[in-house]
Amino acid sequence: MLDGKVAIITGGTRGIGFATVKKFLDNKAKVVLFGSKKQTVNKAIDELKKINKDYEVIGLFPNICNLKEVEKAFDKVQKKYGKIDILVNNAGICSMESIYDYTEENFRKIMDLNVNAVFNCSKAVVKYMKENKGGVILNTSSMVSLYGQSSGCGYPASKFAVNGLTKSLARELGRDNIRVNAVAPGVISTDMIKSVPEEKLKPLINTIPLGRIGNPEDVANAFLFLASDMASYITGDILSVDGAIIN
Ligand SMILES: NC(=O)c1ccc[n+]([C@@H]2O[C@H](COP(=O)([O-])OP(=O)(O)OC[C@H]3O[C@@H](n4cnc5c(N)ncnc54)[C@H](O)[C@@H]3O)[C@@H](O)[C@H]2O)c1
């Protein structure tokens, strides 16, 4: 479905990002996996090459919270492949602290990665997509971007901002044939969910009509569809992948 397309996926070393990298590779894309550390990026690439030695995947580890570093990394990818067709802004962190304990530093940290990095990577890629007469930007939002959550206010705040970027950039960039969409996962079995205390997780699962937690591949499938030409008339949308969780 993505034959010959060049995709950058941030936070590609594990969880939803890693599943999306693999899904795109299985669908014949060339993938540049971004991670925060050389070691974890190399480990992810080794793992992928063990699955299929012919996968066209490379890794980079810019600080995506720094626009200059991001621009350098995107420039490298553009020089190597001559184009960038797809960007998946997936890297993110979560927090469950109460407002009573939330520090200013932690609030800034979550906004920096979950929002500023999405802005940085989107800003760095659009000039190449415009030159190439089109492209696709996909963001990882969250179910909590639709109704908030009862603790950890910085996380839903950051994902509401991701939705705002998604809807606004879709409207701004449609004329350049750049589509912008987001996926809003529900409860997905990744390291992020391991940090949620058991007493908060159990009642959540009871509210999922499909009766199970999602897996990273459920989200990767949604990204594949939105990245592909099958979604060529879809932009500015937030697609829920959450088993119809009842809030
Ligand atoms: N797991 C869920 O239930 C769930 C639900 C809704 C949304 N999400 C979103 O999905 C995305 C992926 O989360 P996940 O569940 O796979 O979590 P994860 O913790 O398994 O993966 C997070 C990824 O982000 C990267 N990352 C973390 N800090 C970084 C930094 N400072 N710089 C660059 N990269 C960094 C990690 O290396 C990792 O690849 C996030 O945006 C998250 O908010 C997850």
The per-residue pLDDT for range 154-202, each reduced to its tens digit, is 999 999 999 999 999 999 999 999 999 999 999 999 998 887 788 888 8
Q: Is residue 204 part of a domain?
A: yes
CA 154/CA 99 separation, integer angstroms: 9
Q: Is residue 247 part of a domain?
A: no
Is the CB–ligand 1 distance for residue 66 below 6 Å? no
- Is a pLDDT exceeding 90 seen at residue 204? no
Q: Is residue 246 part of a domain?
A: no
Q: Contact at 8 Å (CB) between 139 and 20?
A: no
Residue ranges making up the domain that contains 193: 6-240
Q: Which atom of ligand 1 is nearest to the CA of 65?
A: 32
Q: Is the C-alpha dihedral spanning 65, 227, 74, 132 positive or negative?
A: negative
Structure-token match 């409860």, residue found: 187
Is the CB–ligand 1 distance for residue 64 below 6 Å? yes
Dmax (CA) of the chain: 51
Q: Is residue 187 part of a domain?
A: yes
Which of 116, 22, 129, 37 minimizes the C-alpha distance to 74? 129
Q: Is residue 245 part of a domain?
A: no
Q: Which two tokens stand for residue 18?
A: 């890693």
Compute, in angstroms, the gap from residue 139 CA to the centroid of ligand 1.
Answer: 12
Q: Is the pTM of this model over 0.75?
A: yes
Q: Is residue 74 part of a domain?
A: yes
Q: Which atom of ligand 1 is nearest to the CA of 94?
A: 43
Q: Is residue 107 part of a domain?
A: yes
Three-class SS of residue 137?
strand
Ligand 1 pocket test, candidate residues 192, 195, 200, most atoms within 8 A of CB? 192
Specify the number of domains making up the chain: 1
% of the chain with per-residue pLDDT over 90:
92
Compute, in angstroms, the gap from residue 136 CA to the centroid of ligand 1.
Answer: 20
CATH code for the domain of 173: 3.40.50.720
Q: Give catalytic residues, as residue numbers.
A: 155
CA distances from 19 to 12, 23, 171 (A): 8, 6, 29
Is the CB–ligand 1 distance for residue 113 below 6 Å? yes
Q: Give the model's pLDDT for residue 104.
A: 97
Buried-exposed string 186-208: b where 16+ CB fall within 10 A, e elsewhere? bbbebebeeeeeeeeeeebeeeb
Is the CB–ligand 1 distance for residue 77 below 6 Å? no
pLDDT digit string (tens) for 80-111? Answer: 999 999 999 999 999 999 999 999 999 999 99
Tell me, what DSSP letter sits at residue 214?
A: B
Q: Is residue 112 part of a domain?
A: yes
Structure-token match 């058991």, residue found: 198
